[in-house]
Amino acid sequence: MRIISSVQEMHDVSNELRSHGKAIGFVPTMGYLHEGHAALIEQAATQNDSVIVSVFVNPLQFAAHEDFGIYPKNFDGDCALIEQSGGNILFYPSVHEMYSPGFSTSISIGTITEKFEGTFRPKHFEGVATIVAKLLLCTKPHHTYFGQKDYQQTMVIKRLIQDLHIDCTMHIVDTIRESDGLAKSSRNVYLSSDERKQSCILFKALSEAFQAYHKGIRQRERLNTIMQEVLNESSDFKVQYAATADAYSLDEPDEFEKIGKVVFLIAGYLGNARLIDNMIAE
Ligand code: AMP
């Protein structure tokens, strides 16, 4: 696997691949990779000639009180997982390389960033949109891959690609879960063994709301209460939001249409771990 840490070299390699008519797939990550990331890389490998994976913990998307300084790392493990999953290029720039002195540009997406994650992480999506735009400009992919696990993020990136006319197709890959339903996440390493046992509560709450929706319940408050009641079974989970929204607009009408697509969204803290998950029903 080729490891690239300079922006100029990344430009040169991507230009070279494109000049030879090679399809480029790109998977942006923050490292400490697991089977969720592997699913993205594997899908990219089936659809492209070359798969670039970036590992970059982006300071712009973390607030001062968040875990930027302690975000878990495993460089050797990441390289092995990328290779096993079909990636052939690792883009691994330093913070200094991505944000050289004087850097002052940022991308703000608008209304879809204001609720849910945006309420609790006000500058987060500005940081995400800015780094993803920069990474897409460096790697010049034909296809890029994101996880449904970060549902609102997929909406933000979709908007970014459309609004900035970025010539790249975005693919959304299903959430990969542990056997008890917990969505795989690099941050699960922060859970104590007792918290790990309680952490399946998110999947349980989402599943119950999903079943209720399929039985015909369309009132938003009833669906949210179903999730909240399940989450209350864990005394330690501190809910930030447990919400039901239109899956296309994130609007929250009192009652959803008989036919449509909704997303159930949950986020909160279990000890030091911030957990986030979602499920779509239609
Ligand atoms: P991260 O390294 O957490 O920034 O995630 C990098 C990409 O992997 C994002 O598009 C995530 O949505 C995706 N991802 C993270 N966890 C999972 C998972 N359990 N299943 C599928 N995709 C995931």
Q: What is the pLDDT of residues 171-206, one digit of tens each?
A: 999 999 999 999 999 999 999 999 999 999 999 999
For 33-75, the DSSP string reads: --HHHHHHHHHHHHH-SEEEEEE---GGGS-TTSSGGG----H
- Cα 275 from Cα 238, distance rounded (Å): 10
- Ligand 1 centroid to Cα of residue 187, in Å, is 11
Question: In the sheet that 237-246 helps form, which strands lie side by side, from edge to edge?
Answer: 237-246, 262-270, 273-281
Which residue type sits at 183?
A: A
Q: Which atom of ligand 1 lies at the shortest distance from residue 174's CA?
A: 21
Name the active-site residue from 20, 34, 37, 214.
Answer: 37
- Ligand 1 centroid to Cα of residue 110, in Å, is 23
- Percent of the chain past pLDDT 70, that is, above it, reads 100
Q: Which whole number is the average pLDDT over 208-234?
A: 97
- For 90-147, the pLDDT digits (tens) are 999 999 999 999 999 999 999 999 999 999 999 999 999 999 999 999 999 999 999 9
For residue 45 the two structure tokens come to: 């490998």
DSSP state of 168: -
Question: Is any ligand 1 atom within 6 A of the Cβ of residue 183?
Answer: yes
- Ligand 1 centroid to Cα of residue 215, in Å, is 30
pLDDT at residue 258, as a whole number = 86
For residue 169 the two structure tokens come to: 């197709």
Q: Average pLDDT, whole number, for the chain?
A: 97
- pLDDT grade, residue 259 (50/70/90)? confident
Question: Is any ligand 1 atom within 6 A of the Cβ of residue 124?
Answer: no
State pTM to two decimals.
Answer: 0.98
pLDDT at residue 203, as a whole number = 98
Query: By alpha-carbon position, which residue is closest to atom 11 of ligand 1?
Result: 147
- Percent of the chain past pLDDT 90, that is, above it, reads 99
Question: In the sheet that 2-4 helps form, which strands lie side by side, from edge to edge?
Answer: 2-4, 89-91, 50-55, 24-29, 143-147, 169-173
Task: Reply yes or no on whether 171 is catalytic.
Answer: no
pLDDT at residue 69, as a whole number = 96
- Cα 64 from Cα 61, distance rounded (Å): 10
Q: Which whole number is the average pLDDT over 268-282?
A: 97
Q: Which whole number is the average pLDDT over 216-234?
A: 97
- For 37-56, the pLDDT digits (tens) are 999 999 999 999 999 999 99
- Cα 42 from Cα 36, distance rounded (Å): 10
Query: By alpha-carbon position, which residue is closest to atom 6 of ligand 1?
Result: 29
